[in-house]
Structure 1
Amino acid sequence: MYCTDKRSGYSRLLLPVVLLACVGATLQGRAEETGLLADISLPVELHGFMETRAGVRTQHDPHEKDGSVMEVRVQGELLTHTEWAEFKYKGDAWGDGITEKGAYDTREAWGFIRPSDFLDVKVGRQVLTWGTGDLVFLNDLFPKDWQSYFIGRDRDYLKAPSDAAKVSLFTDLVNVDLVYTPKFDPDRFITGEYLSSWNNSVHRGAGRDALVDADTPDRWFDDDEIAIRVYGNINNYELAFYGYWGFWKRPAGEALSGLATFPALHVYGGSARGQVGTGIGNVEIAFYQSADDENGSDPRIQNSEMRYLVGYTQDLARDCNASLQYYVEQMLDYAAYKTNLTDSTDRDRYRQVLTLQLTKLMMNQNLELVFASYYSPSDDDAYLRPNLRYKYSDRMLLEAGANVFLGEKQHTFFGQLESNSNIYAALRYSF
């Protein structure tokens, strides 16, 4: 069984009731002001694209298909609004040559209202993000889809949607974002269907022969998540404080029990971002409290951690930008971890990662070249993602790129994915 959060049932129940009451009262007031029975002609905007995308592995993996991605995708987006609200729906339908199935995913389906100048409310499926990292996430505990990113889908798909209610409060002193997710939204983690990893190779084989079996918390208003951000601007520097009460976003424990779980997690952190010299600097810190195993004695549950990030972004030349980051994960209760270690996957107390992203625009900004790289001196592994996007016309976009994984150890974050290196290309027509 998965572990449950230690918050009281009263606090879990109170927040959704308050949010629903707030939304209901606002809708009622707006209905009285505008008159819902009156004839309203709603403007509707329709956007979308059709895309074909294909990729192949650069080395053979006996547990996976030779293709890394193979799909034809259609996305449709509808947006409408009244004087007091906005509504949006965005969905993807695609035929998947890897799974040999058709699929559909609702990316967004939300309603937005602004009952006053100091309050916004957004309810429904939405893509959420905050924090200062460039493809490195500390206090951003909203779901990610690293599997899509690693097989070569568009980078927009790295951020998965949340089914949540978001309330934003604006004051002269600070601003507050409060997000309530009534049922846990995990990361769209690596299952073995598209990528082979160490976690799904300990038992029963690997890759498609050993799909990850995860016990995901899924009880409405019980297995919920709360995230808060309090932020403001002081002397042109953006300061923020964060809190999160929910679960670890990626499963753990399968290597020992055969069943992956999502233990309870509390996160507290802060960040600062502003001009440093001729560029933009940022720092961020987060304390990950492993609420179901605070002393680190259970090897099936991740230990508590401190996470640190220092970054700097600067324009090197016209239409040329560089971003450099240094990221550290510090495992707490390391002595307990070493005492209870049950296999040979000994990790360092400090996991260090250096990231470098270079972006260059050419040909009147119609050609975009991006090189994203991650290197871990502690794990001795790396991940490289070169990408090229060419805007052939206002509607036609061509893309090509690669995902390259390097590493000697089968259990490190990037090293475990070495057999999944791939190249890919795509053609998109927007409407």
Structure 2
Amino acid sequence: MNIKMSFMLRVFSIAVLMGGLALAAPPSLPSGLSDEGEKSSDSPSLPSGLGGESSEEKQSTSSPSLPSGLGGDSESDEQEESREDSQSDSFFDSGLTGLTGFLEFRSGWRLQNDEHQQDMSIGETRLQLEMEKYWEGITFAITSDIYYDWAYGGHRVDLERGEGFLDLREANLLFSPADFVDIKAGRQVLTWGTGDLIFINDMFPKDWQSFFSGRDTEYLKAPSDAAKASFYTDIANVDVVYTPRFDSDRFINGERNSYWNGMQTAGEDSLLRTEKPDQWFRDDEWAVRVSKNVQGYELAAYGYWGYWKSPSGQIPSTGEFTFNDLNVYGASVRGQVGAGIGNIELGYYDSRDDQDGDDPFAANSQMRYLVGYEQDLPQIASDLTAAVQFYVEQTMRYESYEESLPPGQESTIDQYRQLLTFRITKLYFNQNLTTSLFTYFSPSDKDVYMRPNIHYKVDDNLAVEAGANIFWGDYPYTFFGQFRDNTNIYTAVRYSF
């Protein structure tokens, strides 16, 4: 905890210094920029299912969401005056505002016998508390989950892995040192890109253990300990994120799901051992996004300098898995196409530890491509939405990779990994009942992952949910095929306040 507090103080100090520099010497504004100019939200909109609401409820909007800046109501003058009044109070007098949260009971069971895992896939009682504080132009936000894991027992608190009885989702300060700058410093959930549960240029941590075990989809996004600066101009909006110590994915390591360890299927009996970069201000990460709305289309360019977010290499002498150095450069476009919303996104993954592609113990560089489309289907049924995506991973220098393999060992990856996704959502009973099915299908890997879900809103506070994680695969070493014994069903009851 001392290290954590030290980090938070350093990040806040950096943010304050950045703000001071912006105030002391603000750059000249582009022609036409004024207080009335368009200013985007604090962060790009979350992919479908990753908002603060229950994921399936958020996915079930009656029409596809428009790109950032193409719709939505602006804040009214009355709301602005109310906020100014709250900010004028002293820190101790005004009190905490916006106290919300929920109490949830969630349990799940495997449908197949997995010799590497227990029969229960998830079992926990969770209390989430979310609070905000406004004071003299500064917003302090904290979101924390307190939970008891009665399926897997207790663990010591590990805020990086989200283990123990406490998972700190957010704890940050947001302030604006100038009209064209917002700064958020501390623990926060970050996201950008255009994919629906497919991430190319979103190099912020994910929680794959939660995703495959039956937790709400919002928990796929793990928090980052970072400082984010957003600059708004008439030319373009620029987001810069600095993470002073590498934040990896909460990756599959055998604790809750069996996996392919490179030689065989393993689980609780053989946890994945890793060597992770963890030096403050040395093993750091930078991410940049430049975006602009042009005639109703959101264009964006991305850059990332850090590490592969999940283990990507191995140390032959110790058997430990590593996180290779990685730079990512990408772009995207999203906007209305016909009666729906279309998107295109691509990214080049420059694996710095294997430039020639001839190291079998390091990840090769890749090109990644994504095309997607989403549309309402009122001609078939009311409140029916469908979406499709086509995704390709191209392994660069594939011949060098094959030649580097030990004699007799066959390749376990394809030069072109292809993935199709399908989402269909239907609402019933005045939109209180949401049924949805999200499917991943890889024709190259010959594996499938399906996420059926039913969510019923009993009233404004109470909701019940049931769903499943279903895996098929011909081979135990493909991405979804390795989880074929982890197929599970789950149920949940949530009371929100």
Please give the TM-score of this superposition, normalised by the length of structure 2.
0.79
* 1:266 is aligned to 2:322: no
Segment of structure 1 superposing worse, 312-321 or 149-158: 312-321
Residues 96, 28 of structure 1: alpha-carbon distance in 2 compared, 3 angstrom cutoff: farther
CA contact (8 A) 1:214 1:260 kept: yes
Work out which of the residue numbers 285, 299, 307 in structure 2 matches 1:239. 299
Give the counterpart of 1:325 among 363, 381, 389: 389
Give 1:201 shift.
Answer: 6.0
Give the equivalent residue in structure 1 for 2:370. Answer: 309
Assess if the C-alpha contact under 8 Å between 1:192 and 1:200 holds in 2: no
Contact 2:449 2:480 in 1 (8 A): yes
Of 116, 119, 135, the match for 1:82: 135
CA distance in 2, matches of 1:319, 1:22: 47
Task: Give the alignment's Cα RMSD to 1 decimal.
Answer: 2.2
The partner residue of 1:285 within 339, 346, 366 is 346
Task: Name the SS for the 2:261 alignment partner.
Answer: helix
Q: CA deviation at 1:116?
A: 2.4
The offset of 1:309, in angstroms, is: 0.3
Q: Which residue does the alignment assign to 2:50?
A: none
Determine the C-alpha separation between the residues in 1 that align with 2:324 and 2:127.
Answer: 36
Instruction: Name the SS for the 2:94 alignment partner.
Output: coil
Give the corresponding residue for 1:276.
337
- Partner residue, 1:7: none
| 2-structure distance, mates of 1:156, 1:335 | 39
Give the letter for the 2:398 counterpart. Answer: Y
Is 1:160–2:222 an aligned residue pair?
yes
What CA distance in whole angstroms lies between the structure 2 residues aligned with 1:225 and 1:210?
A: 30
Show the counterpart of 2:236: 174
Query: 3-state DSSP class of the match of 2:376?
Result: strand
**Structure 1 unaligned regions, length at least 5:** 1-14
Distance in 2 (CA, whole Å) between partners of 1:19 and 1:295 is 39
Matches of 1:115 and 1:363 in 2, distance apart? 47
TM-score (norm 1): 0.91
Question: Do the aligned partners of residues 35 and 71 (structure 1) sit closer, same or farther apart at CA in structure 2, a change above 3 Å counting?
Answer: closer
Secondary structure of the equivalent of 1:300?
coil
Does the 8 Å CA contact 2:412/2:478 hold for their aligned counterparts?
A: no
Question: Which residue number in structure 2 is paired with residue 63 of structure 1?
Answer: 116
Alpha-carbon distance between aligned partners in 1 of 2:209 and 2:270, rounded to the nearest angstrom: 16
Residue 402 of structure 2 aligns to which amino acid in structure 1?
Answer: K
Shift of 1:99: 2.2
Which is further off, 405-414 or 359-368?
359-368
SS at 1:348 equivalent: coil
Q: How far apart are 1:362 and its partner, in Å? A: 1.3
Cα separation, 1, equivalents of 2:238 and 2:417: 32
In proportion to residue count, which structure has more strand?
A: 1
Residue equivalent to 1:22: 18
Q: Determine the structure 1 residue equivalent to 2:444.
A: 378
* Partners of 1:16 and 1:180 within 8 A in 2: no
Q: 1:392 to 1:62 in 2, by over 3 A?
A: same
Contact 1:247-1:265 at 8 Å conserved across structures: yes
Residue by residue over 1:346-400, the C-alpha shift from the partner in whole angstroms, topping out at 9 and shown as x without a partner, is: 3210000000011112111111111100000000001000011111111111010
Cα gap change, 1:156 to 1:37, in 2 (>3 Å): closer
The answer to whether the Cα contact below 8 Å between 1:357 and 1:370 also exists between their aligned partners in 2 is yes
Identity among equivalent pairs (%): 52
State the 1:269 CA deviation: 0.4
- In 1, are the aligned partners of 2:96 and 2:131 still within 8 Å (CA)? no
| 1:301/1:39 CA distance change after superposition, 3 Å | closer
